Each structure stands twice: as C-alpha cells, then as structure tokens.
Structure 1
Amino acid sequence: MSGGVYIPKSREKNLHTYKYSGADDSLVSKYILGPYWNWLVSLFPTTIAPNTITVSGLALVGLNFLTLLAWDPTLNCGAAKLTPGYDARGPNDILPPTPLLARFGFPESVIAKQEGSGSACMPAWIFLTWSLGLFAYQSLDSIDGKQARRTGMAGPLGELFDHGCDAINTTLECILSTAALNVGRSYWSIAALIACLINFYLTTWEEFHTGTLYLSAFSGPVEGILMICVIYLITGLAPSGSQFWDRGILSVTGLEHFPFIAKNLRDWNLPLNDAFLTFGAFGLGANIVASYSNVARARLSRKQSPLTPLAGLLPIGALLTCMTLWMTARDAQIMADGQSFVALYCAFGLMFAYSVGLLIVAHVTKANFPYVNIALGWAIMGTIDARLPEPILQNSLGGVRLVAFGVLSMSFGLYGHFVYDVITTITKETGKPCFWVPDSVKPVEAKKAEGKKTK
C-alpha cells in the first residue's frame, strides 16, 4: 500500500508519535471562560466524539452565513452610504465622520453604480443570532480537546479537524464581520480578510517550527472572537443597525463636545468601522513580532538559522497578493459585482484552508514544509487573466461570474478531497474513527475507575 495522497505510507508511522503541545496566556481563558468550558464539557457523554462537537460548532457558523446569503447575498447594504444625501451622523452628532479612505473606501466601479439603497440591510435579530452562534462555536471549539482527552480519542486527526474548522470559520466570520461593520464590498473588506488569514497562518507556521501552539494574552480564538460577538451584539441592538458603525468615534464617545477636541481633532473623527479595522492592523503587527520571536527563539535553541523559516511565509504572501491583484483588477470589476465578489472571497478562503491543511499535515507527520500547492497555481492563473489588457476569460460580466464561481467550485472540490483523504488515511492508521467513539477505546474516567479497583 502507498498510503494516502497527502500522507504517504512512509509518513504514517509518524502519526503515532504526534503529541499536542499548547500554551495559552489568556487571562480570560484562565479565570473566566476556563471554568465555564470545564463545566460545559462535563455535560457531554463520553460516547460523543470530539470531532462531532467541532463540526457542530462550525455548522452554527454556517447557519449564520446562510442568513447573510438569504438577506444580503451581495453585500449591498454597505453601499447604501454611496447614495446621495446619506448622512452617517446620529441624531445628536455634531461633527461629520472623516473616513480614512475616500468615499468610505469603495472603488470607483462600485461608486459609479451606487447600488445600495439600504433595502437589503438585515433586521436586528439576525445580528443577535450571529453573536449567539459565534459564541456557541467558540464554546464547542474550546471543549473538543477536553472531550478528546476524556474519551481517549486525542490524536493528530483532532488537531487537523480543529484547525480545519477554524480556518473555514476565519473566512466566514470575516465576511460576516464586514457586513456587520457596514464596509460591504470596499477595500476594507479585502484588508480585513488579509489580516485575519495572516494571523491564522502565522499561528500555524509558528506551531510547525516550535512544536507548540501559542495563544497570547490577546488571541484570535479567545478575545478576538469575543470582540466579534460584541460587534454583532451592538449591531443588533443599535437603532440604525450596521450603519451605526459609520458614525464618528469622537461623536459616539462624546469627545466632540469638548471645544479643544472639536476644533483641533475634527479631521480625526474616524468612522467606528475605520477605527476598529485600523486597530486590527496594529494588532496584526504585534502578532507578527510575537510569532517570529517565538520561532527565532526555538530555532536558536536548536542552533538553527532563525531566518530560514521566513521562506515559509512566501505561500501565504503569494496567495494574498493574488487575491488583492485579482479583486482590484480592471477597475475592481470583481468588487463591482456582488455575486462575483462573495464567490471569489469564499474561494480564497477555501484555498487558504487547503494551504493551512497541508501545513498541519506536514507538522503532525514531520514532513517538509509545503511551499507549493495546486490552489496557488490557479490563483496565479486567474490573477494573470484578470490583469491582461484583454482578458481571455474575464472579459465580460458573464465571464467574470463564470470564473469566480468556477474557482469557488474547484476550491471546494480540492479542499473536500483533501479532508476526505486525510481523514481516511489517519483513521485507518490509528484505528480511531472520526465521528464516534468505538467500544474498544475506554474513556479516561473508566480507566481511572479501573485503576482504583485494582488498588
């Protein structure tokens, strides 16, 4: 037998030596959510597989995404601010908001169409369900490892499954967040996805080189998700819904009523969504420094070059460069068409999940770093076609949509094949099923009870 497509026979034996290593410096995890997670996992019987818990959480996020597709499938609500007479100020606001980017960061192709009338904006209750769904996802995602240890099902498949679901959730939450923050099909939505995917990739890249999954005092899986839950909650409770985030930060905080600030800082009355996303950029910079510091320290302790791992950032750099160049090609024709934009946005999310999956497989099987993959190949080809003076395929609205949905379909098929092949290979090698706990595997509680009886 030659093994699977992604895990060759020669690497299967390394699955048995894999052992998870993690470090969480979050005070929220330790003192607030930790006790809640310990209580929550105790409610699940040991007959439920940890991967079942993980995929159940992702299903809730998928349901949130379906509500977005049902109400505003092309993210038109954010474009409502392009219509004549739109005023982002609240009833009592004095200063007008001053966006960092002209016309709230929308490309000229979207501005010219002035598509949004506000009629597609979602009702408040949807954002409240998003907040509940994401919090439930975080809860289930945080106890699957605990359930794995309770049931004796801990292993490499659990890490692959957990990280895979997290990678999918990253893209889905990014597009949901841009809808909630009312940035729609603007450059901000592309920047948000770039920041989210880099953050996630850095964590996985760091784990590959250090052997440990580090979660800092402020991490995406804990504080980041809680912050997004609060954004959804505020959007759902605000009278103006997602348009609340277009208000100026000096107006919302009341600082505009101080004469000195109103006079000297009026040009810095950033919309709340601009301010939040700018804050995220600073957070990304801090995470880059922290991740590389951990990698460099680990490499130096093994007397290895701290510079070599930087080559591992080239795949994600190439993928996100392709996404940016493709999305903005030909006067941002992808962004001008909501159907194409959402389809390609999700396609790049799947390409990213596939790239991260390859990296995790390499980590648990002790294989070489995966620098190249097929998804990057068609991302490059699609970008080149879009950037040609006369595109071969993307030379009309129909062609643009055909390519966008075609790439989405290919990415979905590729990632689906990856998931199936990896699950099949690991379950055959380890003897541990993916979605149920076999009778042959005794829960930890049962083993402890047997040990007491023996004594």
Structure 2
Amino acid sequence: MPGVRHYLDLHHLRRLDEYAYSAVDKSPVSQYIMRHWWTWTASFAPPWLAPNAITVIGFCAILLNTATVALVAGDLRGSENGWVWASCAAGLFFYQTMDNIDGKQARRTGTSSPMGELFDHGLDTLNCPLGALIQASAMALGPSSLALLCILVPCWSMYVSTWEEYHTGTLYLGFVNGPVEGVLLAVLILVWTAIKGSSWWLLTVSEAFGDVALLPSSWRMSHLVIAFLTIAFLTTHLPLCLWNVYSQLTSPPRRPLTRPGRHSTTLNPPSPAEAFQQLLPIVGFSVLTVMWVLSPQSVMLEGGGKLVEFALVVCFLFGQLSSKIILAHLTKGLFPFSWPLLIPLAIPAIAVNTPYLGLPSLLPPTLEALYLHLLLTLSLLSYTLSAHAVLSSFCGYLGISCLTIPFPNKAVEGWVPLPTVKLHQSARPPSMGEYGAQEEVETYPPASAAGRAPLALDRVRRWLDSAASSSSRGDGSSLGVNGDAGGGGRKRSNTSEREREVGLGGSGGAAGAPSPLGVGGAGGAAGQAGRIAGSPRKGGRA
C-alpha cells in the first residue's frame, strides 16, 4: 500500500526518462470535426504560454461553473434562468478545448514531459464529479439517489481508463468515448436546458415526445438520460477496458514491464486476476458512498447543499485515488490500492447505520453536518499537500517549471524541441578499492537545494556558469560537487550519471586537476593514496 512519497524517490523518478506518451483516439468526431477546431484554436496560443497554464485556464472555467451552480441552483433542483446553463455550456466547451490544445502547445514549444500528462489527467479527475454535479442540477435531479449515481458514473469511467493505461501503457479512446462525445453530449444537455429550462427534464417521455416505441413513456426525461449514460458505460466502456487489460496480460509475447506484481518482487506483470483485484478500491469507494448518503439515518439528502458539499469531498478524495494510479504509471511503480483514502468514508458509513445493529446512532444529524465540513477541509488540505509534493519532485528532477517555460527559445523560433537539462547530485562512501565495493547511495533532492523552489532551466544555466568561473580559478571543488583532489583520505562526493551527461564530471590529472568545468576532477596518484588512507579497512578516518 505505497503512499505518494514512495513514488518520489530517485529510484522511481529515474523511470521518467523512459517516458513516451501513447494514445489511441478512434473517435470519428475527434478525427474529422473537433481536430480541426483544436488545431485552429492552438494556433492562437502565444509561444510563451506554458501548456500546463493552458490546462489550468481551462479548469478555471469548470470552477466558475461549479460556483455559479452552487450559488444559483445549489439545491440541485435546477433553474429557469437560461444564462446559468448557457454559461455552463460555454465553460465546459472551453474546458474541453483547452484540455486538447495543451498537448499541441507542448509539442509546439518542445516542452512535452511526463509532468504534463500527470497535470492534465490529474485535473481531469477533478472535473469528473464537478461536471456531473452541474449536469445533475441542470436536469433538476435534486438531492436524490439519481444525483449520486450521476456523480459516481464519471468517476468509474475515469478510474477504469486510468487503470487500463497503467497496464497497457496506452490511453485508449474508442469510437465513442467520454472526453469527446461524452463532453459534447453534456454541452448539448446544458444548451437545451438554457433554451427549455430545467423543468423540461421533469416531463415524462410521453409528454415530451408522445408515445415512442421502445421507450418507457412514464419515465422522466432526466431518468432516461441517466439510464442511457449508465447503460452505455456498462456495455461499452467498461467491457472494452477489461478486455484490453486481459488481452495485454495474457498475450503470448507478454510486454516486459519494469513494475513488479502486487505480491512479487520480480519484474513480471501481474496476472489478470491480480489486475482485476485492483478495481476493488473504486468498488469500496462506491459502496461506502452509497451506505452513507443513501442511508435513511443520514441527513445528506435533506437539502441539496449537503450533496454539493459531498460532491466536493468526492472530488478531492477521488482525485487522489485516481492520480496515484497515474503517478504509478509514469514511475512504473507498484499499483496503489490507496485503502487509507476510504477510511474517511467508512467512518460515517458505519456510524449512521448502527441503529440497524440495535445500537444508538453514533453520528447524529448535527455531528454529521460538522463531520462533512471537517472532511471537506481535510480532504482539500490532503490533496493540496500531495499535489505540491508530486509537482515539486517532478519539476526538480526534470529541471523544469510547472506553469512557465523559457522564452524566447529555439523551440519557439524553429520548432525544435528544447534539450532537457537534468542535474542531480549523488554521494557515496570512499571507494573500497581491492577490499570490495560499496553500493552507491544517491540522494534526491540535493541537500543544497533543500527548501528551494524546483530547478528551472535558467537556474541550471547560472549553476553551470558559476562552475565555469570556478574552473578559471583552478579550484576543482569550490562548488562542493565531486571535488576530489589528492587530499589526505577525505570523503568525496562521487559524480553521478546525470552530472556526467551535462559535463559536470571529468578525470583529473596526476595531482587531482579539475575537470574542464572545474567540477568533479578525479584525483590522480595523490587522490588515490588519499582514498586508500581514508578507507575504514585501512584504519583511516572515513
């Protein structure tokens, strides 16, 4: 049950170097219609605008939609004000556009990175419950079981897609998929609501269209839409994801993975049974949610305001649940079951149902409302801290910034990808020579960078400039990185592989001369004598 920090050590971060984004989009709507719109829109993005900044701008539209609905139709019973749903439709379409042009901007500016995928998909997980909440209010579902179902179905869709990508290494978007047709359908629902009003969704099928064959005439239009979306997920999206994972794990030339199975320390992929067990967290998440919200002893459905607040809780808890799978996929780590994230839901799910066991209620209505407020605060805090830790580690390792890019640069001027500059320091004990070797211990982030902002490219260049200036003074260890002159057995910091890639390591002369950049010159005879003298096996001072 690895936590977020498990995936942020140097052992896992090194696997970001193997990153290669893979996606398959078979949607005709995307290929023949929307692709031209996205390409045309991306041409207006200024070259200094970071791709992740585009993603954030698009997500701000979803936040504005959520705030508008919470203020105007927070009881989830809809509104007859057309401007509310027209603005929500425009905001959702704007979000979809920004979500699709951020990748084009990344390729245009040469700033594609694994952090871009993590950032993009991480915000998509937040949009699932928020967008569903807006749809529930537009169709006047009210605080009901259908509104809860409307919130959970997109979460299931996102979870199984992320789980599928974890095992196959490819994001599959079928002929009809959520990010394209699903979002466009949601936009059409909002546009229709802006024209007809939320009360239209309360009409029965016979009142709206007359007697239509194969359609239950007594159903409300909102019930028909929810049933259609649920059946579409259960009959198309979910089976395809299950089949793709099963095929991947049982095909004869099994794809070599660098992640071990759940109960194994080898590098073999998990069996299909183990892979299907990884769906248990979302099953538990849904069961506990239903046990709490739909319990007759609960007050969650007494007024839409509580359900709106609960949707925000789902947003942050599910955001962590799904984002950790994306993180494990990028770092090729163990699958995160994330059972601790279900504890905040398990407590009220059990406490409100104790009367069925002949016990007094452990969560009376007043305490339940306070618990909901506390849970929202803690889930937001937990998500913020987790996201900050992940983004800081990714930025530090990749040597990039999250929301800014170097400008001007060659990639913008000539459409040539920027070179990736990565700096890491490593330290190991003195060489044991003929007495045996000790394993190199690498630390990340560097001790000198503790408490500082992530390294950006301009900081890297300044660091290299200072190293070059030290070289002109002939001081091979002035920066404290890999200095190895022939001192009397003093411990040195060994040159890491990444420092050698950018020229921060070299071989010194006979007396421990510095490298061309003045950093990391490996000493000659005097340095070797010093290392032997400093060896613990020789009785020297380590």
TM-score (norm 2): 0.70
Give deviations 1:316-354, integer Å, cap 9, x for gaps. Answer: 111111111110123442111433222122202211110
One of 284, 306, 309 as aligned partner of 2:275: 309
Give yes or no for the alignment of 1:401 onto 2:402. Answer: no
User: Does structure 1 retain, via aligned residues, the 8 Å contact 2:47–2:412?
Assistant: no
One of 261, 264, 287 as aligned partner of 2:237: 287
* Distance (whole Å) between structure 1 residues aligned to residue 109 and residue 362 of structure 2: 52
* Distance (whole Å) between structure 2 residues aligned to residue 392 and residue 53 of structure 1: 48
* Distance (whole Å) between structure 1 residues aligned to residue 374 and residue 137 of structure 2: 24
Distance change (3 Å), C-alpha of 1:381 and 1:441: farther
User: Does structure 2 retain, via aligned residues, the 8 Å contact 1:174–1:196?
Assistant: yes
- Aligned residue runs from structure 1 range 178-257, under 5 A: 178-238=136-196, 241-255=197-211
* Distance (whole Å) between structure 1 residues aligned to residue 81 and residue 303 of structure 2: 23
Give deviations 1:147-167, integer Å, cap 9, x for gaps. Answer: 111111111111111111111
* Distance (whole Å) between structure 2 residues aligned to residue 440 and residue 266 of structure 1: 59
Give deviations 1:9-29, integer Å, cap 9, x for gaps. Answer: 221101121111000000011
Q: How many residues align?
A: 395
- Aligned residue runs from structure 1 range 343-362, under 5 A: 343-362=309-328
**Which residue in 1 is equivalent to 2:82?**
124
* Distance (whole Å) between structure 2 residues aligned to residue 4 and residue 195 of structure 1: 29
* Distance (whole Å) between structure 2 residues aligned to residue 449 and residue 188 of structure 1: 48
Secondary structure of the residue aligned to 1:23 is strand
Larger Rg: 2
List 4+ stretches of structure 1 deviating above 6 A.
Answer: none
Give deviations 1:43-71, integer Å, cap 9, x for gaps. Answer: 11221100000010000111011111211
Query: How far 1:176 sits from its partner (Å)?
Result: 0.3
User: Does structure 2 retain, via aligned residues, the 8 Å contact 1:246–1:271?
Assistant: yes
Secondary structure of the residue aligned to 1:335 is coil
* Distance (whole Å) between structure 2 residues aligned to residue 442 and residue 320 of structure 1: 49
Q: Which moved more, 1:293-302 or 1:360-369?
A: 293-302
Q: Which moved more, 1:324-333 or 1:41-50?
A: 324-333
* Distance (whole Å) between structure 2 residues aligned to residue 444 and residue 413 of structure 1: 37
One of 391, 407, 425 as aligned partner of 2:393: 425
Whichever residue aligns with residue 139 of structure 1, its letter is T
Unaligned runs of 5+ in 1: 79-120, 451-455
Distance change (3 Å), C-alpha of 1:294 and 1:175: same
Secondary structure of the residue aligned to 1:54 is helix
One of 177, 196, 206 as aligned partner of 2:135: 177
Whichever residue aligns with residue 288 of structure 1, its letter is L
Distance change (3 Å), C-alpha of 1:359 and 1:266: closer
- Percent identity over the alignment is 30
**Which residue in 1 is equivalent to 2:49?**
48
Q: Which moved more, 1:46-55 or 1:381-390?
A: 381-390
Taking only aligned residues, the RMSD between alpha carbons, in angstroms, comes to 2.1
User: Does structure 2 retain, via aligned residues, the 8 Å contact 1:4–1:425?
Assistant: no
* Distance (whole Å) between structure 2 residues aligned to residue 191 and residue 266 of structure 1: 21
Distance change (3 Å), C-alpha of 1:71 and 1:391: farther
* Distance (whole Å) between structure 2 residues aligned to residue 379 and residue 367 of structure 1: 26
* Distance (whole Å) between structure 2 residues aligned to residue 378 and residue 422 of structure 1: 22
Whichever residue aligns with residue 281 of structure 1, its letter is T
* Distance (whole Å) between structure 2 residues aligned to residue 440 and residue 417 of structure 1: 32
**Which residue in 1 is equivalent to 2:22?**
21
* Distance (whole Å) between structure 1 residues aligned to residue 57 and residue 65 of structure 2: 13
* Distance (whole Å) between structure 1 residues aligned to residue 73 and residue 202 of structure 2: 18
**Which residue in 2 is equivalent to 1:437?**
405
Unaligned runs of 5+ in 2: 255-268, 419-542
* Distance (whole Å) between structure 2 residues aligned to residue 393 and residue 160 of structure 1: 40
User: Does structure 2 retain, via aligned residues, the 8 Å contact 1:5–1:421?
Assistant: no
User: Does structure 1 retain, via aligned residues, the 8 Å contact 2:161–2:241?
Assistant: yes
Distance change (3 Å), C-alpha of 1:440 and 1:15: farther
Whichever residue aligns with residue 68 of structure 2, its letter is T
Distance change (3 Å), C-alpha of 1:393 and 1:47: farther
Question: Is the helix fraction higher in 1 or 2?
Answer: 1
Give deviations 1:211-256, integer Å, cap 9, x for gaps. Answer: 0000111111100000000000000001xx1010111223322336
- Aligned residue runs from structure 1 range 59-138, under 5 A: 59-75=60-76, 77=77, 121-138=79-96
Secondary structure of the residue aligned to 2:300 is helix
TM-score (norm 1): 0.82
* Distance (whole Å) between structure 1 residues aligned to residue 386 and residue 58 of structure 2: 21
* Distance (whole Å) between structure 2 residues aligned to residue 440 and residue 393 of structure 1: 61
* Distance (whole Å) between structure 2 residues aligned to residue 125 and residue 444 of structure 1: 40
**Which residue in 2 is equivalent to 1:87?**
none
Give deviations 1:356-393, integer Å, cap 9, x for gaps. Answer: 11100000000000012432122212322222225676
**Which residue in 1 is equivalent to 2:502?**
none
* Distance (whole Å) between structure 2 residues aligned to residue 56 and residue 311 of structure 1: 37
* Distance (whole Å) between structure 2 residues aligned to residue 15 and residue 227 of structure 1: 36
User: Does structure 1 retain, via aligned residues, the 8 Å contact 2:288–2:346?
Assistant: yes
Give yes or no for the alignment of 1:278 onto 2:227. Answer: yes
User: Does structure 2 retain, via aligned residues, the 8 Å contact 1:128–1:233?
Assistant: yes
Secondary structure of the residue aligned to 1:334 is coil
* Distance (whole Å) between structure 1 residues aligned to residue 305 and residue 208 of structure 2: 34
**Which residue in 2 is equivalent to 1:375?**
341
One of 289, 297, 300 as aligned partner of 2:250: 300
Give yes or no for the alignment of 1:413 onto 2:362. Answer: no
User: Does structure 1 retain, via aligned residues, the 8 Å contact 2:135–2:186?
Assistant: yes
Secondary structure of the residue aligned to 2:24 is strand
Whichever residue aligns with residue 188 of structure 1, its letter is L
